[in-house]
Amino acid sequence: MKPCSLYVHIPFCKSKCAYCDFFSVVCKNRIDDAYIQKLLEEAEMRAAQFDVSEWRTLYFGGGTPSLLSPNQIEKLISGIKAARPIAEDAEITFECNPDDITIELLDALKANGVNRLSAGIQAMSDAPLSVVGRRARRAENLSALELLSKHWIEPENSEPKKRRLSLDLICGLPGETSESFFAGLDEIISCGADHVSLYSLTLEENTPLYNAVDSGKVELPEIEETDSWWIKARDLLEMNGFAQYEVSNFALKGCQSRHNMSYWKMLPYIGIGAGATGTVGSLRYTNSRSIEDWLNGKGEEKELLTPDIQKFEFLMMGFRTLEGVDISEYKSRFGGDISVIEPVFSEWCRKGLAQTTKERWALNKEGLLLLNCFLKEIMDFFL
């Protein structure tokens, strides 16, 4: 038996954001209890299927998990515990939309052992939030941050801290200006969060935002300008104690996302819920994106990962992080030698974009800005 991370997908939103291509459906009323019951049945089934001993980390994502009622949160977490024990030191993350954050919700999360909250702020000015259809605008974001500061974030002299807070920002949203973006970043830095995910806007095909930009109805800031915003924002975060540890993620000391690190280190993880994915060993499965089919046990897709795919994915995920790839771990997993990519890696070192030690190969902060180019160059060695 082995410990495993668990991702719980709650694919319901009150409304869809214009840039989002994650699987979710609009849900105007409360989430049906039948979905919760099926999640618990799948948790038990997957735990048995993959011989899980305990849940190392839990992550409730979506969609919008904060649409769950306090009773549903209690039922879900207690049922997951019944399927397999939750590790005593487990990180348990719960995603929230800012305008769902209430004292009642925070009390329910605390009572059920959630110790990390991730709030999708995305921007702190009304113009970009309005263009992309966020239901939380500046006023709601400010209200959420005030509630979190009073009822979630622990006092500075409280050690060890039991609760953590991560906030998401998107750089380059339509309607954003340099002034509004950096004013919002200053507010985020000063609000007491210990983790910031700073994403560059990605236009995904067939999303409303992609179509609006493609048709000329919406104009984005110049990419060269927003690239410079992102780099300046990275530097400001680091000046304020947030160390970059992955392409888009920054944390105060000791506050990295353990659940996401399990992905980047290619540790086993199970996903439950409609549209969720899990990877254990060489098996990857993806549940149906039809809620009806998933409720009826239909539509699961399975993929057996070849050794070369596993090698490439191990490198792809490892090079996303600033600590890079553990050479001995690569050898113990695959029996091969990472030096197969040495011609490319040496060239990146020569350009000042990568660095190496006896234990690790890694891209540096400037190299991470060109991660996709690097991955394309090493892909031919495996695929």
pLDDT in tens, 91-126: 999 999 999 999 999 999 999 999 999 999 999 999
Q: How many CB atoms lie within 10 A of CB 314?
A: 21
- Do you find a cis peptide bond into 172, omega within 30 degrees of 0? no
Whether pLDDT at 11 is above 80: yes
pLDDT in tens, 181-195: 999 999 999 999 999
Q: What percent of the chain has pLDDT over 90?
A: 93
Between 156 and 267, the higher pLDDT residue: 267
Which residues, 6 or more positions from 8, have their beta carbon under 8 angstroms from its beta carbon?
39, 58, 59, 60, 61, 65, 76, 80, 271, 272, 273, 276
Whether pLDDT at 212 is above 80: yes
Whether pLDDT at 287 is above 90: yes
Tokens 């409303």, residue located: 208
Dist CA 36 CA 33 (whole Å): 5
Averaged over 189-218, what is the pLDDT?
A: 94
CB 201 within 8 A of CB 19: yes
Whether pLDDT at 29 is above 90: no
337 band by pLDDT with thresholds 50, 70 and 90: confident
Predicted pLDDT of residue 155: 78
Predicted pLDDT of residue 336: 80
pLDDT in tens, 296-324: 999 999 999 999 999 999 999 999 999 99
Which pTM does this prediction carry? 0.95
Whether pLDDT at 341 is above 90: yes
Q: Write the DSSP symbol of residue 110.
A: H
Whether pLDDT at 161 is above 80: no
- Give me the domains of the chain, ranges plus CATH numbers: 2-263 (3.80.30.20), 307-383 (1.10.10)
Bridge-partner residues for 329, per DSSP? none
Could you give the 3-state DSSP secondary structure of residue 247? coil
CA 364 centroid distance within chain: 21
Could you give the 3-state DSSP secondary structure of residue 91? strand
Mean pLDDT of the chain: 95
Averaged over 238-264, what is the pLDDT?
A: 97
1 band by pLDDT with thresholds 50, 70 and 90: confident
Predicted pLDDT of residue 246: 98
- Do you find a cis peptide bond into 160, omega within 30 degrees of 0? yes
* C-alpha dihedral (40, 42, 47, 49), degrees to nearest 10: 160
Could you give the 3-state DSSP secondary structure of residue 284? strand
Dist CA 298 CA 103 (whole Å): 38
Predicted pLDDT of residue 241: 97
Q: Which of 111, 93, 95 is nearest to 103 (CA)?
A: 111
Averaged over 23-44, what is the pLDDT?
A: 94
Angstrom CA distances, 118 to 32, 98, 192, stand at 23, 10, 13
